[in-house]
Amino acid sequence: MGRMTKDGIKGASAAESTARHIEELIVEGALRPGEPLLPEREMALRLNVSRPTLRQGMKMLEDKGLLVADTNGSRVVAPLGISFTDPLIDLLSSGEAVTDDYLELRATLERMAATLAATRANDVDRAILREAMERIDRAHGEADAGDEAEADVDLHLAVYEASHNLVLLHIMRALSGMLRKGIFHNREKLYARPEVRDVLRDQHRAIYEAIMARDPEAAGRCAEAHMSYTQRVIAEIAAADARLEISLRRIEGGGIASRAGKARS
């Protein structure tokens, strides 16, 4: 976090200007949901404002719900835009058909994000993308399905940030938050299948390499193909689970038949 001005913020609106500056950092994604802020003394020095001014500005942000206090009393960015919390989301997530709609939407937005990232990513963005891809490769090599699933989400987040479209970034962060929580589908089931893990790793590398090659058409195409494949596999897993449940109910008589000691006819 850099200084706001060489001479700090002067005048009666200093606290408001301090708050506005922090708001801008949140909007542009420089301050991420749940991220802790520096201690008050250090933060005031970084922003070149007095500690009373900083406290007033922070209070304004707390009143808006943008900052919250953690268990130690330190200030952290509120969990903004990392998931949709309306009860409607829980209602939607209970319907199997909505999973297809969710993945269909993501396919469109992922294509847009990858296309923009291939055009707009700077050296900092590219370094973050490289680190995320290396983490996927490392987890894949170690057959660490849990870490690979997390690295999967982090690579997509890096693509969203590299798109430099702020609305897209915050929407996709929210969708990623839902993905981490298992809303709409259980991503761990994807990575429980070695053959699927191999395909997903190859698809992520294709997206990554297209972005790094600054090829927007290829990046968008690879991103959309990746989501289409994910949608198909998730549907196959859901169908297999449903068949298994039916088979178990047949064995158990639906839980209400008296079959003890009786052979199946």
Query: 121-179 pLDDT, tens per residue?
Result: 999 999 999 999 999 999 999 988 888 888 998 999 999 999 999 999 988 888 777 77
117 lies in the same domain as 239? yes
Strand partners, 76: 36, 68
pLDDT single digits (tens) 40-86: 899 999 999 999 999 999 899 988 888 988 877 788 888 765 555 55
Residue 33 counted as domain residue: yes
Residue 254 counted as domain residue: no
- The residue segments making up the domain with residue 52 are 14-77
Query: What DSSP string describes 9-76?
Result: --STTHHHHHHHHHHHHHHTTSSPTTPBPPPHHHHHHHHT--HHHHHHHHHHHHHTTSEEE-TTS-EE
Residue 175 counted as domain residue: yes
Alpha carbons 8 and 48: distance in angstroms, whole number: 5
Alpha carbons 233 and 64: distance in angstroms, whole number: 42
65 lies in the same domain as 141? no
Alpha carbons 210 and 216: distance in angstroms, whole number: 7
Residue 66 counted as domain residue: yes
42 lies in the same domain as 146? no
- Are 154 and 131 in contact by the 8 Å Cβ rule? The answer is no
What is the distance of C-alpha 163 from the center of its chain? 14
Residue 253 counted as domain residue: no
Domain at 36, CATH number: 1.10.10.10
Q: What total number of domains does the chain contain?
A: 2
| pTM greater than the 0.85 cutoff | no
Work out the angle at residue 38's Cα, subtended by the Cα atoms of residues 127 and 81, and round it to the nearest 5 degrees.
65
52 lies in the same domain as 100? no
